[in-house]
Amino acid sequence: MTDVLPAATLPERGSGDRVLAARSGIAARPSVLFVSHTGTMSGAELVLRDAVQPWTGSTAFLFEDGALTDALRGQGLEIRLPRRRTSLAALRRDASPLSALPVLGRLGALVLEIARAARACDVVYANSQKAFLLSAFAARCVGRPLVWHLHDILDSAHFGRAQRIAQVCLANLCATRVIVPSEAAARAFVQGGGRRSLIRIVPNGLDLDRDPRPAAALRAELGLPAGPLVGVFSRIAPWKGQDVLIEALARLPGLHCIVVGAPLFGEDAYAAHLRDLVAKYRLSDRITFLGQRDDVPRLMQAVDVVVHPSVDPEPFGRTLVEAMRVGVPVVATDAGASAEILDGGAAGTLVPPRRPDRLAAALSELLDNPDAFAPRTDLARERALSRYGADRMQRALADIILQVAGRA
Ligand code: UDP
C-alpha cells in the first residue's frame, strides 16, 4: 500500500519524485487513488494529467476510457476502468437528483468498485463533481481520507439547487480537504454552505514552451489569413460565450477570428447555434472554426488577441494562463477567476460578460494601438511564469495529500 523509503532514497524517476522528496521530509510516500468520471480531456483533466506527475505508481479509476487513460498511463499510473461501461451523461449539472434513479444500481456498483480500489490506497482524490459524489461513499466504506479537487464554481449559473445542496452537504460530511483553483471558486463553495476550513486554494499550473517563430510565419504555416486576427480557445459550450464574440465580430469589419475547440460534453445544439449566427451576420469569410486541437498555445501565438468571453463565472481558465505565458494580449470577461488571474485588469483587459458592444470596443482599442498594451502583456507573462507553473501546483497538491495521509 505504501512505499516506505527514507526521502533521500526515493528513486528519482523525474521531477515528480523530486517534488515528493522535497515535500515529505519523512519516509513514507502514500499511494493515491485518483478518480475521474470522464476520460475526455477538458481543463480539469489536463490539470489532473499534470498533477499526478509526482505520483508514479499510484492508481487512477476512470468511469470511462478516453484520451485521459493514455495520458495518465503515460505518467506511470495504473489504470482501473469499471467492469461495465456506464454513461453518466444523463446526470447533467442542472438535472434533478431523480434523474439518477434509472442508473442507481449501476452507481452503487461503481461505488463498490471504487471502494475496492481505494482499499489498496492511502488517499482517495476525486477530480470532478461526479467522481466526488461516488468517491464520498466509497472512501467512507473503506475509511480512507478523501480529497475533492473541485474544478467548478458551485453557483446557480452552473448547477441546479438540489445538486449544489447535495454536493456541499456531502463535502461537509465526507471530504477531508476541498481543493479549489481560485478565490472565486472558494467563495462560491462557502456561500453555498461549504465549510471554509476544508478549503485549500491551489491555482492551476502549467508548463509550455513558446514557439520561437514570429506570428506571421506561424500564420502562413497554419493557413491563417494576414491582417488583424483574434481567437477564442475553449471547448464549445454556452457558458464559454463564443456567441458573444461572434456578435462582437459583426461590429468590427475587417477583423478575422479563429474559433478553436469542440463541444466535448454534448453541446451540439450550441455549436449549431454558433454556425447559425455566423450565417445570420454573413461572417463565414471572417470566422474559421478549427475544431478541437492539441496545439492551442502555438495557435495562440498566431493571433493578435486571445479572447476569453465566458458569460458565467470561470473557476479558473487555463487558456488565460496559456495566453499570458506565450505573451499574447488577453481580453477576458470579468466573471469568476479571470480578474484574479489578470491582476484585476493590470495583466489584460477585462470587460463585462454578455456585452458584445463592450467586447468590440475593447478589441478595437487594442488592435488600433497594440504598443500601448505591451507593458500589460509583459506583466502577464511574468505573472504566469511566477505564479502559475506546474511545479508550484504539484508541490502544493503534494503538501495536501501528504497532510491528509498523515505523512507531512
Ligand atoms: N484546449 C485544447 N484544445 C482545444 C481547446 C482547448 O487543448 O481545442 C485546452 C486549452 O488549451 C486549455 C483547456 O483546454 O488548456 C481548457 O481549460 P480551461 O481551464 O480554460 O477551461 P475548462 O475546459 O476547464 O472549462
The residue nearest atom 6 of ligand 1, judged by CA position, is: 234
What would the pLDDT profile of 260-315 be if each residue is shown by its tens digit?
999 999 999 999 999 999 999 999 999 999 999 999 999 999 999 999 999 999 99
Q: What is the pLDDT of residues 122-138, one digit of tens each?
A: 999 999 999 999 999 99
Read off the pLDDT band of 102 (50, 70, 90): low
Of the given ranges (70-79, 92-101, 297-306, 363-372), which has the lowest mean pLDDT? 92-101
CA 46 to ligand 1 center in whole angstroms: 8
User: Residue 11 pLDDT > 80, yes or no?
Assistant: no
- C-beta 267 within 6 A of ligand 1: no
Q: Is 294 in the pocket of ligand 1 (CB under 6 A)?
A: yes
- Say if residues 242 and 290 touch (Cβ distance below 8 Å): no
From the CB of 296, is ligand 1 less than 6 Å away?
Answer: yes
- Find out whether the beta carbon of 319 lies less than 6 Å from any atom of ligand 1: yes
Q: Which element (helix H / strand E) includes 381?
A: helix 370-387
**Measured from the CA of 319, which atom of ligand 1 is nearest?**
20
Helix ranges (DSSP H) in 78-182: 104-119, 129-142, 161-174
Residue 401, pLDDT > 80, answer: yes
d(C-alpha 279, C-alpha 266), whole Å: 22
CA distance 395 to 177: 16
Report how far ligand 1's centroid is from the alpha carbon of 370 (Å): 26
- For residue 80, give every residue at least 6 positions away whose Cβ sits within 8 Å of its Cβ, in sequence order, or none: 59, 60, 61, 62, 113, 117
- Which residue among 207, 294, 318 has the greatest number of ligand 1 atoms within 8 angstroms of its CB, and so is best to mutate? 318
- CA angle, corner 339, sides to 304 and 182, nearest 5? 120
The angle that helices 43-51 and 67-74 make with each other, rounded to 10 degrees, is: 20
Q: How far is the CA of 317 from the centre of ligand 1 (A)?
A: 8
Cα(320) to ligand 1 centroid in Å equals 10
> Would the CB of 312 count as within 6 Å of ligand 1?
no
Q: Give the predicted TM-score (pTM) of the model.
A: 0.91
Average pLDDT over residues 102-119: 90
Q: How confident is the model at residue 10 (pLDDT cuts 50, 70, 90)?
A: very low
Confidence of residue 20 (pLDDT cuts 50, 70, 90): low
CA of 280 to the centre of ligand 1 (A): 27
Determine contact, residues 20/1, Cβ cutoff 8 Å: no
206 lines ligand 1 (CB under 6 A): no
pLDDT at 76 over 70: yes
| Confidence at 53, pLDDT banded by 50, 70, 90 | very high
Ligand 1 contact, 336 CB (< 6 A): no
Ligand 1 site-directed mutation target among 38, 234, 294, 308, most atoms within 8 Å of CB: 234
CA of 1 to the centre of ligand 1 (A): 34
pLDDT value at residue 314: 96
Q: In this model, does residue 81 exceed pLDDT 70?
A: yes
**pLDDT attached to residue 27:** 45
pLDDT of residue 260: 98
